[in-house]
Every structure is written in structure tokens, then in C-alpha cells.
Amino acid sequence: MFFASYPAGTNIEPHTHDTHNHGIITQGEMILTIDGVETRYGVGDWYEVPAHTTHSARCDVDTAEIEFWFDPTSL
């Protein structure tokens, strides 16, 4: 688990993780692109990124989140 905050204008380039990730937005808004599909997540919204899935993110406003990383073999 980790707590992250991103200033307005943050762009996170496409990448993957070996973990299965779940997150909840606690401030602002995150635009998350998973396998080419863009979705906006606001305060209280949960998102999921499966392991080994290409994803990127953009924050047009100050944004904060809590993210949980799980070993996909334990799910």
C-alpha cells in the first residue's frame, strides 16, 4: 500500500507492473489509460490495473490516491 500525490499537469508514461493494483482517488481526478482505453476517476472512485497490463495516467488537477499492490499469484 502507498499514498501518492500528484501536482496538476502530472503525466505518467505507459508502463507495466508485476503486481495487480487497486487504487482509490482521495483528491482531484486521475485520467487512467489501460490498454488504450481512457477513463476518468474522481474522489471515491476505485480503479484496477491487472498485472502486466500497459497503463498510463494523467492528472490535470492536484490529485491524491491510495494504491494497493498485490502479488497476482496470491489472488
Tens digits of per-residue pLDDT, 40-63?
Answer: 999 999 999 999 999 999 999 999
Please tell me the distance from the alpha carbon of residue 43 to that of residue 27, in angstroms, as a whole number. Answer: 5
**pLDDT greater than 90 at residue 34:** yes
Please tell me the distance from the alpha carbon of residue 64 to that of residue 66, in angstroms, as a whole number. Answer: 7
The mean pLDDT of 9-17, rounded to a whole number, is 97
3-state secondary structure of 57: strand
Mean pLDDT over the full length of the chain: 96
At 21 the pLDDT is 95
Decide: 24 and 63 in contact? Cβ < 8 Å: no
Instruction: Give the start-to-end residue ranges of the domains of the chain.
Output: 2-74
Lookup result for grid cell 507492473: 17
Please tell me the distance from the alpha carbon of residue 52 to that of residue 45, in angstroms, as a whole number. Answer: 22
The mean pLDDT of 6-19, rounded to a whole number, is 97
pTM of the model: 0.91
What topology is assigned to 2-74 in CATH? Jelly Rolls (2.60.120)
